[in-house]
Amino acid sequence: MPQSKNLHASPEDAEQAFYEALENANLEAVMELWSDDDEIVCIHPGGPRLVGHAAVRAGWKALFTNGPVLARRAHLHVIGGPMFAVHSIVEQVIVAQAEATTVVNVFATNVYVKGPQGWRLILHHACLTPPDHTLSVGGPVPQLLH
């Protein structure tokens, strides 16, 4: 596994670099952001659970065959400590089709850990929001939890 050239001083810096790499469909830049840990995990919407560098790389490579991923981040919620950060986000992914451009809302969770190479990603989990989901920042707490 090649060493990262960029040391990210905060999870926010690493996340900014992650979304810039997606917008540029830059596989090497995306992979550089992942931890050296063998147990990294990535789940794309509707896709399988990818574990390890080879599987995660293959997943991003396949995704980038459709071009860049244009995702605006909204409604960031952060949980963290000195050595980890969990970012819960709503990604507003711009999907360009021949007849129209639409925005697809995706729930994403990015988990970062702090190590010798700075802040690095260990988990990216994304799934489509339910069709009736409205983007709200507060609201009532659901009574049914899984």
**Structural domains of the chain in order of their starting residue, each with its CATH number:** 11-128 (3.10.450.50)
Pairing of strands 118-128, 49-51: unpaired
Average pLDDT, the chain: 88
Give the torsion sign (CA, 56, 106, 100, 25). Answer: negative
Give the torsion sign (CA, 6, 24, 126, 63). Answer: negative
Find tokens 């989990």 and name the residue.
125
Nearest residue to 6 via CA among 112, 120, 102: 120
Summarised one tens digit per residue, pLDDT across range 11-57 is: 999 999 999 999 999 999 999 999 999 999 999 999 999 999 999 99
Residue percentage of the chain with pLDDT more than 90 = 70
Task: Please name every residue paired with 117 in a beta bridge, in sequence order, or none if there are none.
Answer: none
Local confidence band at 135 (pLDDT 50, 70, 90 cut-offs): low
Summarised one tens digit per residue, pLDDT across range 63-119 is: 999 889 999 998 889 999 999 999 999 999 998 777 888 889 999 999 999 999 899
Burial class (CB in 10 A: 0-12, 13-18, 19+), 38: exposed
